Structure formats: structure tokens, C-alpha cells
Amino acid sequence: MVTDFLKLLVTSLPATPTPGTVKGDEDEVDLQQHLEKLSSQRYPIESNTQNRDTMREYIIERMTNYGLEVEQQKFNTTISEDPIGIDSQYIKVQGTNVIGIQRAVTEHPGAVVVVGADYDSNGVDDPLFHNGAGVATLLEAARLYTINERWSGRYVANYTTIFVAFDINTKLHKNSPGHPGGYYFVQNWLMPFLKQNADYFGGAIILDSIMNVNYNIYTQVLSNNFQENRRAERFRLEDMRLQSGMKFDNLLGEFVKSDNIHFWNAKDASNRTVQLPALLLTDTKAFRNMEKECVTDPCRAVDLVTEERLEFVEATVRSVTTFLFNRQTTRLPEQPSSGMSNLPSAIMTVLMFALVRLHM
């Protein structure tokens, strides 16, 4: 199942997306509306409560307006009160995973697919880059997928797709000992949703930090554990394969900090390990030589959101959305134009887009 999921995802991802504005069947990618909301710190301490509440309500509002069935999953965890990790005082905090469901067939082999990203921040890195861009991509993919599937009349959903914004990823915090939101989602929400049957799960796409882009040579560092197959395309997937007998290093450590690890180490009702397929999309920020590109010190996040970086994130939105359409839906045959007979559906489509835009 894992191999089939990865093969289909790679097949669905375009190697060279069209530069500039990316279009869906009925609308274009619009990241700005989301990115404007994601520049504030969301580390789960009292001083950031308003920022966190505002972001959570925004995600709920967006998912609701897209027509998703929205649930909030509350959980309690333990974090280090100091984001830098110097002060070892621990505090109990409550987190909220926001889950948007596009419901169709669920009890079918490989039916359920999850797209997820963290909406908190680690209190150290720029929250727009880690992981604001991932949340923006999550919301835009949800918008394009649901609007086209529900209102364009060109697609019908075959299977259930879930968009989830994870809260409090303690694995990316300094010295925070509690379980992260991704763990609680997989164990306490997803496995019961699947009725403890892993066969119903098709795979997860985890959107990690994805906006740290540098096209200069010698700016990407990878360990010897991986073999790369370099190609000339501007945007591409590297076929980086894990080798037998490889040693644990910092790059491999990135795979156990992100939410994919909770899918790989899921537990069923009998506490047996269930390996659910999950793919991590990341810019490997910790292994990039990122040049300073602004005159202010510290840099303002808005100055770092360059056209090239936006283009890269837009391409990621398009790729994820294309994958969802290819795997989760059937495209309906084109209907011949018949003048007035198509007018009601056309009016409904325009009205729905207007309502969505009105609430943005």
C-alpha cells in the first residue's frame, strides 16, 4: 500500500509547473490572504494566546466556508515554558487540532487520504516560514479541491479526504516532553475514524517547512545516507532512497520530528504497531545555506517572501491538488454547451465563489 501511494503521488506531481499564477479549473491560487495571518508567533504560551486563538478561528472559518465538515480535537500536553529550551520549567497546555472532512466513501481499501500541516510555531524560527507556508498551502489546497469538486460540476468525489491543521508539535520545540497534536490526531481521532482498520487508509501528505528556497549552487547539504538522482527541471522530486545499513544522522532526525512519524508508528486497538503510509514534503531548512536578502536587521518576514519563494509554494499547492483530484475523484465527461440549460449551474457557481471571497 505504501509503495502504491508514493508511486501515485510522484506520478501526479508535475515536474515543471507553469511559472507565475497557478490556476485550478475554476479559480487561481491565492496565498496572500493566508500568509498575512501567519506572521505572528504561535508558540503555546500565555503571551501568544490571542495570536493562537485568531489563527485557529481563521482556519475554522476558512474550512467551513469551503464546505468542509469541521471538527475540533482538544488535547492536553506538556511543553517547556521557554521556547529556547534554556529554562527547563514545564507547563501543561491545551491544544486544538482543526480537522476538515470532505466526506465520501471511507470503508474501502485505501479510501481515506489526509493532508496536514502544523499551525503552531516553535518560538524560535520565523513563524511565516516555519510553518506558516505549510498552513497556507494546506488551506489553498483545501479550497481548490473542495470548490472544484463540489461546485464546478467537473468532478465527483470517490473517497474521503481530510485536511488537518495540527497544533503544538512538541517534537519541534526545545525540550518539550509532551505528545504533539499529530500524535493525538492519529491515535485518538484517525484510527477510530478508520474503525481501527488500517486498510481503509490511503496515505498522508505532511506539509512541513516549504518556503526556504535558494537556487544558488552549493546551498543544499545532504548526508551520505542518500543517493540523489539530479535532474534539470526547475521544480522536481528527488528520488532519495534510504540505503541498508545507514547510520542515524541529523537529516534522518528531521523525519522523526515531523508529523509523518505518527502515521509510521500508529497503534491499533490492541496496541500493535500499524505503519500507515505518509509522505513528508519539506525544504530541509536546517540543511540549506539561506542568504540574508533584506536590509533590515532582523529581516521582516514580508521582505523574505520573494517571488521565487511564492512561485515554489504555489507549485506545491498545484501539485498536492492535482494529486487529490487524480486519486480521490473521477473527472466527469465534458457536457456540450446548451445555452440556457447551463445557466442555473453557472449562476450557482458564481454565487458560491462570491460567498467564499466575501468571507476571506
Q: State the pLDDT at residue 11.
A: 34
Lowest mean pLDDT among 71-80, 187-196, 226-235: 226-235
Asked if the bond preceding 158 is cis, omega within 30° of 0, the reply is no
Widest CA span of the chain, in angstroms? Answer: 69
- Please determine, for residue 200, whether its predicted confidence score (pLDDT) is greater than 90: yes
Q: State the pLDDT at residue 210.
A: 87
Q: What is the pLDDT of residues 246-280, one digit of tens each?
A: 666 666 666 777 899 999 999 999 999 999 999 98
Separation in Å, CA 75 to CA 46, 92, 273, 310: 17, 11, 22, 33
Q: State the pLDDT at residue 14.
A: 38
Lowest mean pLDDT among 31-40, 130-139, 154-163, 244-253: 244-253
Q: What is the pLDDT of residues 324-348, one digit of tens each?
A: 999 999 998 876 655 444 444 444 4
Alpha carbons 292 and 206: distance in angstroms, whole number: 27
Q: Where are the domains of the chain?
A: 2-358
Q: 351 burial class (0-12, 13-18, 19+ CB within 10 angstroms)? A: exposed
C-beta neighbour count of 148 within 10 angstroms: 21
Alpha carbons 61 and 58: distance in angstroms, whole number: 5
CATH number of this structure's domain 2-358: 3.40.630.10
Q: What is the DSSP letter of 299?
A: P
Q: What is the DSSP letter of 166?
A: E
Lowest mean pLDDT among 216-220, 247-251, 356-360: 356-360
- Please determine, for residue 41, whether its predicted confidence score (pLDDT) is greater than 60: yes
Q: State the pLDDT at residue 211.
A: 83
Q: What is the pLDDT of residues 278-329, one digit of tens each?
A: 998 888 766 666 555 555 556 666 667 888 888 989 999 999 999 999 999 9
Amino acid type, 90: Y
Annotate 89-130 with DSSP letters as a single string: -EEEEEEEEEEEEE-SB-SSTT-EEEEEEE-S--SSS-TIII
Lowest mean pLDDT among 26-30, 76-80, 166-170, 317-321: 26-30
Residues 138 and 131 sit within 8 Å (Cβ to Cβ)? no
- Please determine, for residue 137, whether its predicted confidence score (pLDDT) is greater than 80: yes
For range 166-191, the mean pLDDT: 93
Q: State the pLDDT at residue 133.
A: 92
Beta bridge partners of 281: 207
Q: What is the pLDDT of residues 80-134, one digit of tens each?
A: 998 887 777 999 999 999 999 999 999 999 999 999 999 999 888 888 888 899 9
Handedness of CA 330, 331, 336, 339 (dihedral sign): positive
Cell match 525540550: residue?
175
Alpha carbons 51 and 31: distance in angstroms, whole number: 19
Alpha carbons 310 and 303: distance in angstroms, whole number: 12
Residues of 67-91 as b/e, b for ≥16 C-beta within 10 angstroms? Answer: bbebbebebebebbbbbeeeeeeee
Cell numbers at 157, concatenated: 468525489
